[in-house]
């Protein structure tokens, strides 16, 4: 997802017209909706509100994602080769964690980043990317 995000932002910088109502790439939210100009035809002000999860531009920072990955690897005690297979999209359950492990991971993240995660939010975290997004949202 990071790759597509940087591709899109490169395009946005490269001269497509973006309307002033658009959200900045830093992940600030305009009324909780992310508007992204797809600019299918250049220079057209076609604003498409994409509510599909792939375009949730909370723009989790790369270092946050890395820290999360480190903590996950540590908590799940992954061996060297399993650790290499970890990507931001990996689900915790794919990495061999059960729900108790997930709770432990969320607690470790709370401690590391000094945040408190709500009960409901914690239930919804399934991938590393989601965890990083939530963290950035709470830390910002």
Q: Residue 86 and residue 84: Cα distance in Å, rounded? A: 6
In the set 94, 98, 101, 120, the catalytic residue is 98
**25 by DSSP, 3-state: which?**
coil
Q: Residue 31 and residue 27: Cα distance in Å, rounded? A: 12
Q: Nearest distance from residue 62's CB to another protein, in Å?
A: 22
Q: Contacting another protein (CB under 8 A), which of 11, 61, 73, 91?
A: 91
Part in contact with another protein (CB under 8 A); list of ranges 8-16, 19-27, 33-41, 93-101: 93-101
In the complex with another protein, the residue whose CB is nearer, 28 or 93, is 93
Does residue 87 interact with another protein by CB under 8 A? no
Total number of residues that touch another protein (CB under 8 A)? 16
The beta strands (E) that lie in 20-118 are given as: 35-37, 47-49
In the complex with another protein, the residue whose CB is nearer, 84 or 103, is 103
Concerning whether 120 is annotated as a catalytic residue, the answer is no
What are the angstrom distances between the C-alpha of 110 and each of 105, 117, 118, 125, 139?
9, 7, 10, 13, 11
Please, which of residues 99-118 interact with another protein by CB under 8 A? 99-100, 103-104, 106-107, 111
For 110, other C-beta atoms within 10 Å of its C-beta total: 15
In the complex with another protein, the residue whose CB is nearer, 14 or 53, is 53
Q: Which residue has the tokens 């830390």?
A: 139
Residues marked active site are found at 98
């Amino acid at each position: 997802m990071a790759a597509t995000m940087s591709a899109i932002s490169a395009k946005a910088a490269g001269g497509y017209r973006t309307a002033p109502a658009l959200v900045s790439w830093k992940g600030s939210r305009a009324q909780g909706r992310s508007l992204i100009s797809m600019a299918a035809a250049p220079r057209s002000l076609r604003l498409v509100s994409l509510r599909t999860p792939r375009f949730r531009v909370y723009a989790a920072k790369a270092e946050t994602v890395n820290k999360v990955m480190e903590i996950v690897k540590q908590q799940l005690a992954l061996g060297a080769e399993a650790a290499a297979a970890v990507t931001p999209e990996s689900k915790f359950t794919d990495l061999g964690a059960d729900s108790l492990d997930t709770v432990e991971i969320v607690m470790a993240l709370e401690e590391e980043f000094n945040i408190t995660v709500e009960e409901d939010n914690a239930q919804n975290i399934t991938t590393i990317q989601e965890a990083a997004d939530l963290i950035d949202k709470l830390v910002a």
